[in-house]
Structure 1
Amino acid sequence: MTFDNFIKTAWADHGDQPLVVAERLSTSPQLAQTSSQIQAFTRLITHVYGEHLADWDAGIALLQSLPRLANEPAALSAIAVSTATLKYGRGDQDALASLTPLEQTITLATASSLFAAQQKLAMAIDSYSQALMSYPEFTGLPEEIPVHRALAVGGNHLACVLEEQKQRSTTETAAMLQAAQSALKHWQRAGSWLETERAQYRLCRSNLQAGLKDQAVQAARRCLEICTQNNAPAFELFFAHAVLAIAQKDQNDAFELHRAAAIVCLEQVPADEQHWCEAELKELNK
């Protein structure tokens, strides 16, 4: 099996079988030989051993077993950041001490996702807030792309988890909105149109949960505009029309217009992808 196939299969399997994937990872560090491969391996280790298993020590040990490429600073940084993230997750207060400011921001943003996945919401909010404050000014340099990605991914994950809470405090609602807004801001700097339109979708959802209907409609419209401008596939268009319909449920004509458009798009979505659309379809048919 090639390295790329190994990683692709592991990501596909880890949600339902995190222990099985962890075992595969623990016996395969030798597969990562290049800088890009090591970076991909560290991301998967951090996600599986951190978010899914909270097995900090085993994850750290596995990271330390990865090859050290002396002339590949990106690979060395990836190992350092992932190790610090798992150490921070287990409660090591000095985990960030040896990192650069950029690495500290990535670590804090990634740790926020670990805490959110474990429903440690106060810790997740605090970690993400620290990430935003730890490196507030960006100059647009290429080496900052991983920071933007970490803040975008962390913000999206935190917003999503907070949206799902049946009872949110005022602090949690504010954190949800900040996370969704920050995810959009940083995907605009580091992602493609696809990540940006999905961030608009997330912002719409967060605004709806916060009771901010007008802002939700604006975000949903921007989501649909981006899809239209980029000839998005039916899968993306379904979600854009669906969330715009849901945001306008109190306006019958607008709701029915976008509900009908979403259904048309759904008919064009490949059969093996349609299960992802079930939650929105249920909302549209209430």
Structure 2
Amino acid sequence: MTTEAFDAFLKTAWAEHGDRPQQVADQLAASLPLVQSSAQVRPFAALASHVYGEHLGQWEAGIALLDSMRALPSQDGSAAAHEPIARAIATLRYAGGDPSVLGSLDAHDRTFVLASAAAMFTGRGEFDRAIAAYSQAVKAGEAGLAPKSPAVGALAVGGNNLAAALEGKADATARELEAMVAAAEGGLTFWKQAGTWLQEERAEYRLTRSLLRAGRARDAVASAQRCIAVCAANDAPAFERFFGQAVLALALRAAGDGRAFATHRDLALGLLAQLPEGEKAWCERERAELG
């Protein structure tokens, strides 16, 4: 299979896995021969662990599938070939209820496993476990992580996902709201290391939302202003600038500054008017909140 065909297979599987995870899991199990190079191991293992873990909770089946990848011709002895499998298996083991797996891991892999498991727990609505795992992941990474390492990326994704899920939890407790802000701050910290300006900007947006949910309006204003500054520094398209202006307006309103709210509301709506209809659909929440 060509690289293009493999990429198309994974793209389709990612697009469909949310609606029919068991069928996608079955397709993955039947498609192991598609993994023909070490470069294809990581994306295949990532999808397999996500589907079998977060969506299905079929920990042992996922581990068995990943373990079978070790017999593929793509296992050329390189780190790129074997490390993603080992990390994915360790994540499923830990998330499936075997904390002893952490004892055999170095700080980097321990951080990756804990952060990845936190994302799995979040997706499964197991917030106590998600909060605990993410907190442990951040502590495990305090010893220092290589820039752009998989562990840094896992911390960024795990923090973002946990913050977004807790923000949407109507009955969130004070402890969960505190954890939400900490997760959003973690997402921002690690996206600055692992991502691009776009991911940093969106992490600032996420932090602003979390701060608003926690009732910290003034801190939300500062975060939203940083979001807009990132957009300005990188000549961001109107779609991104709309969200920055909208969330700043909402933060200013929450802080009691009606005049500044009106100014940034108008700026946001002006940007919204520039967007094609397909993009406007993604902006409906903010448009409704702006009134």
Number of equivalences? 283
Answer whether contact 2:107 2:143 (CA < 8 A) is retained: no
Aligned to 2:191: 187
2:145 aligned with 1:146, yes or no?
no
Give the deviation of 1:107 after TM superposition. Answer: 0.4
Distance 2:50 2:270 in 1: 36
Aligned to 1:6: 9
Distance 2:159 2:264 in 1: 28
Distance 1:216 1:63, change over 3 A: same
Distance 1:198 1:36 in 2: 28
2:246 aligned with 1:242, yes or no?
yes
2:94 aligned with 1:88, yes or no?
yes
Q: Structure 2: which 5+ runs fail to align? A: none
**RMSD, matched Cα:** 1.8
Aligned to 1:252: 258
Aligned to 2:22: 19
Distance 1:159 1:74, change over 3 A: same
Distance 1:84 1:223, change over 3 A: same
Distance 2:157 2:137 in 1: 12
Aligned to 1:158: 162
Answer whether contact 1:203 1:219 (CA < 8 A) is retained: yes
Q: Structure 1: which 5+ runs fail to align? A: none
Secondary structure (helix, strand or coil) at the match of 2:170 reads: coil
Distance 2:227 2:251 in 1: 12
More divergent stretch after superposition (76-85 vs 257-266): 257-266
> Aligned partner of 1:165: which letter?
K
Aligned to 2:229: 225
Give the deviation of 1:272 after TM superposition. Answer: 3.0
Give the deviation of 1:268 after TM superposition. Answer: 3.2
Give the deviation of 1:82 after TM superposition. Answer: 0.8
Aligned to 1:77: 83
TM-score of the pair, normalised by structure 1: 0.92
Give the deviation of 1:238 after TM superposition. Answer: 1.6
Give the deviation of 1:217 after TM superposition. Answer: 0.5
Aligned to 2:47: 44
2:112 aligned with 1:106, yes or no?
yes
Distance 1:5 1:165, change over 3 A: same
Task: Looking at secondary structure, tell me which structure has more helix per residue.
Answer: 2
Answer whether contact 1:81 1:99 (CA < 8 A) is retained: no
Answer whether contact 1:86 1:111 (CA < 8 A) is retained: yes
More divergent stretch after superposition (209-218 vs 163-172): 163-172
Distance 1:12 1:270, change over 3 A: farther
Distance 2:274 2:66 in 1: 43
Q: Equivalent pairs: percent with the same residue? A: 46
Give the deviation of 1:148 after TM superposition. Answer: 1.1
Answer whether contact 2:192 2:200 (CA < 8 A) is retained: yes
Distance 1:272 1:79 in 2: 38
More divergent stretch after superposition (158-167 vs 221-230): 158-167
Give the deviation of 1:124 after TM superposition. Answer: 0.6
